[in-house]
């Protein structure tokens, strides 16, 4: 009976410590990105958490924001990683306390959020976006010297700059009576302007009827 009681107590302590670690990590993500965040940690035995180590961490978030980018949904799984506890306690950016393991992240960005980050100044001004899987239609105006033409263009998601940037690569432009082929890239996600720059890379993206799903991995697992 004593051994059984000790085992039950150990399981109880394991659950309490893991739950507390999950709440702490969720709070750290929420402090950076806002929204609603939950996290679950699997670390057996639990005392390895004292060194920031774990077998698996899963994070789910809704209504987050990173700079100008609004994220409808975030799902992440991190296996065999380690958290730099000192950097976490200091409230440093996410990339500063992420160490090793294999991390996969999925971000869902809605159509309204995409429209908010369209470039609205300069020679190319975008005023609208329509989803047409596997690509998108964008519309706006081309301005150069005395030229001012409305245009409509079709583009597909493309990862560039070593996985740092996701663009809609415009391949066909209708500007008045003119039809052009183009290599214009309209930026959607630029990790260089977020706290994840240098730690993660974009591994792929897919246009859906509701928006864009972006997949990322940590660079160590690439």
Residue 180's pLDDT is: 64
Q: How far is C-alpha 132 from the geometric centre of its chain's CA atoms?
A: 22
Question: What would the pLDDT profile of 203-217 be if each residue is shown by its tens digit?
Answer: 999 999 999 999 999
User: What is the DSSP annotation of the chain?
Assistant: -HHHHHHHHHHHHHHHHHHHHHHHHHHHHHHHH-SEEEEEEE-SSGGGGGGTB-SEEEEEEEEEEETTEEEEEEEEEEES-EE-HHHHHTT--HHHHEESSEEEEEEEEEHHHHHHTS--SSSEEEEEEEEETTEEEEEEEEEETTEEEEEEEEEEEEEEGGGTEEEEEEEEEEETTEEEE---EEEEEEGGGSTTBTTEEEEEEEEETTEEEEEEEEGGG-
Neighbours of 138 (CB within 10 A): 25
Task: Please tell me which residue, 165 or 171, carries the higher pLDDT value.
Answer: 165
**Residue 153 near residue 182, CB atoms below 8 Å:** yes
Least confident of 85-89, 107-111, 180-184, 191-195: 180-184
Express as a percent the part of the chain with pLDDT over 90: 34
Residue 196's pLDDT is: 74
- Average pLDDT over the chain, rounded to an integer: 83
4 has a pLDDT exceeding 70:
no
Q: Tell if the pTM clears 0.95, that is, is over it.
A: no
């Amino acid at each position: 009976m004593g051994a059984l009681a000790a085992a039950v107590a150990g399981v109880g302590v394991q659950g309490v410590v893991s739950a507390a670690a999950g709440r702490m990590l969720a709070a750290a993500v929420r402090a950076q990105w806002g929204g609603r965040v939950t996290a679950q940690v699997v670390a057996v035995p639990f005392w390895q958490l004292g060194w920031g180590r774990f077998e698996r961490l899963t994070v789910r978030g809704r209504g987050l924001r990173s700079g100008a980018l609004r994220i409808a949904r975030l799902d992440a799984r991190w296996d065999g990683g380690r958290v730099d506890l000192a950097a976490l306690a200091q409230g440093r950016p996410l990339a500063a306390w992420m160490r090793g393991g294999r991390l996969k992240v999925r971000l869902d960005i809605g159509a309204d959020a995409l429209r908010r980050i369209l470039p609205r100044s300069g020679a190319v001004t975008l005023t609208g976006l329509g989803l047409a899987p596997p690509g998108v239609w964008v519309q706006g105006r081309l301005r150069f010297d005395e030229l001012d033409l409305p245009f409509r263009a079709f583009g597909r998601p493309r990862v560039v700059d070593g996985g740092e940037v996701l663009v809609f690569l415009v391949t066909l432009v209708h500007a008045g009576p003119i039809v052009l082929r183009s290599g214009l890239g309209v930026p959607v996600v630029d990790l260089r302007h977020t706290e994840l720059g240098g730690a993660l890379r974009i591994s792929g993206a897919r246009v859906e009827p509701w928006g864009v799903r972006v997949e990322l991995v940590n660079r160590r697992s690439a």
